[in-house]
Amino acid sequence: MYTTDIINTSGEDLKLTFLGHGTLMLTFGSTVIHVDPVSDLADYANLPKADIILVTHDHFDHFEPQTIEMLRKDGTAVVGAESCTQKINNCLAMKNGDVKTIQGLTIEAIPAYNTIHMRSPGNPFHPRGVGNGYVITFSDKKVYIAGDTENIPEMKELTGIDVAFLPMNLPYTMTPEMVADAARAFRPKVLYPYHFGDTDTSKLTDLLKDCTDIEVRIRDMQ
């Protein structure tokens, strides 16, 4: 069984299912959204097929074409960064800054990139303009799924975020200090670190212990 949380909205309840690493399933009424589905993190044969599939970028631990095909059904909308559209058919590309209404939900593509952590000098793990995070509006609640990114200016400018998933693993994304810095800037009501590998999540909880308006929730998202 997978861990789940319920977020109450002014419409249907939003169910968050934590599959692991960067992989999530969101259920809003009858609408099922799979985020970065990867087969070694979940038994997709026993999970519902997708109405919407969101892909943040084309790295192997976030983008698995065969799993996307397994989750498709008639009418499934597959949404991804532009790089994904070259590797899978019928994928709707979203560029940083795009806003689209998909199956009644407003989805905004937020930049996701590194400025500090590099594969080699001048070669970031996630270059600017390639990957997306997504802000999805569910009735009166906004959920931000950041993808692989650091605490970039575009993240800090977000407003009205109710639930945020922020990555926290080195060398690819953020330290606990960087996650805390971002959270202090845009003040999500609920913060889930995810994609955190072996990072000590208690560091983040300690860094934000004085932010009583931010609830840090730790789930199994290594």
Band (pLDDT 50/70/90 cuts) for residue 107 is very high
- 126-177 pLDDT per residue, tens: 899 999 999 999 999 999 999 999 999 999 999 999 999 999 998 999 999 9
Q: What is the CATH number of the domain that holds 175?
A: 3.60.15.10
Determine, yes or no, domain membership for 29.
yes
pLDDT at 180: 98
Determine, yes or no, domain membership for 38.
yes
Determine, yes or no, domain membership for 41.
yes
Domain total in the chain: 1
- 39-50 pLDDT per residue, tens: 998 999 999 999
Query: CB within 8 A of 71, min separation 6: which ones?
Result: 34, 37, 44, 49, 50, 53
Please indicate, yes or no, whether the overall pTM of this predicted structure exceeds 0.85. Answer: yes
List the one residue out of 162, 192, 193, 163 whose CA is nearest residue 175.
Answer: 193
- Amino acid identity of residue 105, one-letter, is L
φ and ψ at residue 14, rounded to 5 degrees = -105, 120
Determine, yes or no, domain membership for 220.
no
pLDDT at 111: 98
Of 66-75, 116-125, 213-222, give the lowest mean pLDDT range.
116-125
Domain enclosing residue 164, as ranges: 3-213
Determine, yes or no, domain membership for 218.
no
pLDDT at 119: 86
Residues 83-102: what's their mean pLDDT?
94
Residue 6 near residue 13, CB atoms below 8 Å: yes
Determine, yes or no, domain membership for 58.
yes
Residue 216, both tokens? 């840090």
pLDDT at 125: 87
pLDDT at 73: 96
Residue 69, both tokens? 């095909």
Residue 184 near residue 211, CB atoms below 8 Å: yes
Please state, rounded to an integer, the average pLDDT across all residues of the chain: 95
What CA–CA distance (Å, rounded) separates 100 from 104?
A: 10
User: β-strands 14-20, 3-7: how paired?
Assistant: antiparallel
Determine, yes or no, domain membership for 219.
no
Determine, yes or no, domain membership for 222.
no
